[in-house]
Amino acid sequence: MITDAHEAARAAEASALMQAFARSGYAANGAVHVLVGILALIVAFGGDSETDQAGAFKAIAAIPFGFVVLWAIAIALWALALWHAIEGLLARRDSSAKKWGVRVSEWGQTLVFLCLGLIAAAVALGAKPDADEAAQAVSRGVLVIPGGVFVLGATGLGIAIGGIAFIVMGVRRSFENKMTIPDDALGNGVKTLGIVGFVAKGVALLILGVLLLVAAVRGEASAAGGLDAAIDALLAVPSGPWFVGAIGAGLIIYGVFCGFRAKYADL
C-alpha cells in the first residue's frame, strides 16, 4: 500500500499538468502578496484597509467578475498545496532525521496554501472573514483549555521561528537552491528580489508570532491577531508608518519574486 502511494506520488510529481498547476500556485501566491503589500502601503500613508490575505481577497471580490478570479486563485493555491504534500511524501534525504525535517517543512506549507485557498473560496462564495477576529476567537478557545497558555505560546514561538527562518533564507540566499535562475542581469535582479522579499516576509511573520506570545504571556486573547493586527501594532510605535511602508514594499517585492519563482522553480 505504501509503495503504491509512493508510485502514485512520483507519477503526479512527473506530470507536466501537475507542474503547471504548481507554477500557477506560485504565481497566485505572488499576486496575493503584491496586493497585501499595496494595502499595507495604503495604510502607511493614512488610508484604511485590511492588510492581510482576507483583505486582499475581499478587494478582489469587489471588482467585476472578482469571484471568478478568486476561484482561479483558490484552485492554484490548492494545486501548490498538493505539490508540497507530494514533495513531503517523497522527501529524499540521506538520514531519517533530515527526511522528516523536510516533511515537516513541506507539509507545513501544504497546510498554509490549503488554508489560503479555503479563504479565497469562502470569499468567492460571499463570506467576509476577519483574520484578526478569527485569531482572537481561536486564542480564546485555546486559553480556556488546560495548558492552553503553553499551546498558544508554542504556536506564537513557531510562527516567530518561521519568520526568522524566512529572514535567514533571504540573507543566505538559500531560496536559490530550489530554483534555476539565469546567470545574467535578469537573474541578478530576481536574486535581489528574493533577498529583500524573504527578509520583509520574515519580519511580518516575526511580529505576528510576537503578538501571539504576548497574548499567551498576558493570558489575553485580545492581544492576538493576524497580519492586520501586526500592522496596527507597528503603526502605534514611533516611525511606525515608515516601518509599515517598508514591510508593504517588501511584500510587494516578495510577490514579484514569487512570480519569477513560478517560472524558475525546480519542480
Could you tell me the residue ranges of all domains in the chain?
Answer: 2-264
Greatest alpha-carbon pair distance for the chain in Å reads 59
pLDDT tens per residue across span 170-228: 999 999 988 899 989 999 999 999 999 999 889 888 888 887 777 777 766 665 656 67
pLDDT tens per residue across span 149-167: 777 778 888 888 888 999 9
146: phi then psi, degrees, rounded to nearest 5 = -60, 130
Q: Which three cell numbers stand for residue 19?
A: 507542474
Contacts of 6 (CB under 8 A, 6+ apart): 89, 90
230 pLDDT more than 80: no
pTM of the model: 0.83
* d(C-alpha 39, C-alpha 226), whole Å: 14
Q: What percent of the chain has pLDDT over 90?
A: 26
| HEC secondary structure over 214-263 | HHHHHCCHHHCCCHHHHHHHHHCCCCHHHHHHHHHHHHHHHHHHHHHHHH
